[in-house]
Amino acid sequence: MREISVALVQMAPVLGEAEQNLGRMTDYVERICLEQPTDLIVFPELATTGYELGPRCTELAERVPGHAVNYLAKAASEFKVHIAFGLVIKERVESIIYNGVVVLGPEGELVGDYRKVHLPGEERLAFRPGFRFPVFDLTIGRVGVLIGWDLAFPEAMRSLVLDGAELVCVSAAWEGTHADAWRAYCISRACENAVFVAAANRVGDEPSYRFLGESMIVGPRGELFTAMDPKVEGYAVAKIDLDQVRVVREELQIIQCRQPQAYRNLVRKY
């Protein structure tokens, strides 16, 4: 068995208040890890800033590594835990920014980052889309990352799985008006790929949004390991056995029996 403990943090970031949010995130890390040994903690999309930033996106964007990474790296190192969290990432050119997630290792090291590929609506006005789906080789296993609306695109999750992902972390700011889709996507993506999905969705209200919560960990058979209440801040921890990914894939042949030659239309834009 390769059993690991994964925690989901379901928080309501304070809009535009990065220092306050980083302090709360560190408090969550401490509370979770003092309660029980934990291998990975997943925070929501744009956890350091809130979602509806408007013109403040550029002001609040950070380089990687930068202040937010260094701040949370101390907590990761102190409690020997991996951390994945959402933030606004900027490049050397100040105007180029991404909706991103950073992954930290248990020594506080920067493992890597992911930039959201699928940008809905007004996000396209603020962010550049990412263009790749990296899989990170962590000490606990092979882990991929998606953000929010990426979950609606089956190609994204399948790309990570074909590159070896056993666990996919989803950092999200999913609205309550699309609750049924959230549940369906989380379970379907896990089941159709025989992969663990650890989806941390934020809660709270912003001027134009009311966020859902309902963070969940789903197993490779579509089974729920934990599911959190909607609209309530908090966290949930579950133990999962990553060896079950191989077991289920060998049993169902869900990856092995693919017929890529029949899927040529998938690479057409429309």
User: Encoding tokens for residue 268?
Assistant: 């057409």
Q: Letter for the amino acid at 53?
A: L
Contacts of residue 34, Cβ cutoff 8 Å, sequence gap at least 6: none
Angle between helices 67-79 and 18-35 (to 10 degrees): 10
| Structural domain count of the chain | 1
Q: How far apart are CA 146 and CA 200, in angstroms?
A: 11
Q: Once rounded to an integer, what is the mean pLDDT over residues 140-167?
A: 98
Around 35, how many Cα atoms within 13 Å sit in the side-chain half-sphere? 15
pLDDT of residue 93 exceeding 80: no
pLDDT in tens, 165-209: 999 999 999 999 999 999 999 999 999 999 999 999 999 999 999
pLDDT in tens, 99-126: 999 999 999 999 999 999 999 999 999 9
Examine residue 129 and say whether the peptide bond preceding it is cis (omega within 30 degrees of 0): no
Residue 36's domain comprises 3-267
Provide the whole-model pTM.
0.97
pLDDT in tens, 5-52: 999 999 999 999 999 999 999 999 999 999 999 999 999 999 999 999
pLDDT of residue 266 exceeding 80: yes
Q: Taking Cα atoms as reference points, which of 48, 54, 8, 13 lies closest to residue 32?
A: 8
pLDDT of residue 94 exceeding 80: no
pLDDT confidence of residue 73: 98
* Residue pointed to by tokens 């790929």: 193
Q: Please work out, in degrees rounded to the nearest 5, the angle formed at the alpha carbon of residue 136 by the alpha carbons of 76 and 145.
A: 85
Q: How far apart are CA 215 and CA 219, in angstroms?
A: 14
Element (H, E) at 162: helix 154-162
CB 95 within 8 A of CB 58: yes
CATH number at residue 162: 3.60.110.10
